[in-house]
Amino acid sequence: MNNKKVLIGLVILMIISVVGLTIAFFTDTVEIPNVFKTNVFKTKVTEEFVSPDDWVPGTSTSKTIKVDNLGDVPVAVRISYTESWVAKDGTVLSGVQDGNRAAIINFVNTSDWVKVTENGKDYYYYKTKLTKDQSTNNLIDSVTFNSAIDDEANCTSTSSNGVTESVCESSESGYGGATYTLTFTAETCQYDSYKDVWNTTYNIQ
């Protein structure tokens, strides 16, 4: 009787072993591509300026700057500038004489731009975002050499045979013969991220 139980047990074990060897699993792998297309970010800065070589106090030179959005992404715009005066002999001038600025930047459309001082630097933010094919208005229209600037000339006299000649010439360390450089920096940024990118609290509408 015990031999029969052992034999039956062996048969069951063999059947389980055979079944175990022949079990197959149904499997499947599915790849689902997710395609993301990005919009085009494209802006253009347009400047109109002809460098004068006869700039004298009291005269103005035309200068404009604006930004266009040529892409699909709405953008925010801000502009900053730096200026420097260097005398003929290389002396760096302050650009201010007796409280008067040597160069006067003539801003226009101030209703469209707002001046914001951040970390000691002035930025001019365009108040509204630019969507596709929109443009800012010009920030400035000209720059004037202040007529209040006085660059007293140095005069020397010579006499010969009863004739005296006096020659007067601008000081090489003054504003006469100096070079004025005005540099504008235009920045554009994806509108919905400009606060993080520029670290500003100003609200562009």
**pLDDT one-digit tens code per residue, 42-77:** 999 999 999 998 899 999 999 999 999 999 999 999
Give bridge partners of residue 164 from the DSSP assignment: 159
Tell me the three state secondary structure of residue 96.
Answer: strand
Q: What's the pLDDT at 29? A: 87
Contact 81, 136 (CB under 8 A): no
Cα distances (Å, whole numbers) of residue 46 to 49, 67, 105, 203: 10, 6, 18, 25
**Angle CA 48–178–64, to nearest 5:** 15
**2-39 pLDDT, tens digit each:** 555 545 555 554 555 555 555 667 888 899 999 888 88
Domain range 43-149+177-198, CATH class: mainly beta
> 178 CB contacts (<8 Å, ≥6 apart)?
85, 86, 87, 88, 93
Question: CB burial class (10 A; 0-12, 13-18, 19+) of residue 57?
Answer: middle
Q: What's the pLDDT at 23? A: 61
**CA–CA gap between residue 30 and residue 9 (Å, rounded):** 44
**77-134 pLDDT, tens digit each:** 999 999 999 999 999 999 999 999 999 999 987 789 999 999 999 999 999 999 999 9
Q: What's the pLDDT at 164? A: 85
**152-185 pLDDT, tens digit each:** 777 888 888 889 888 887 888 999 899 999 999 9
Q: What's the pLDDT at 36? A: 87
Give the start-to-end residue ranges of the domains of the chain: 43-149+177-198
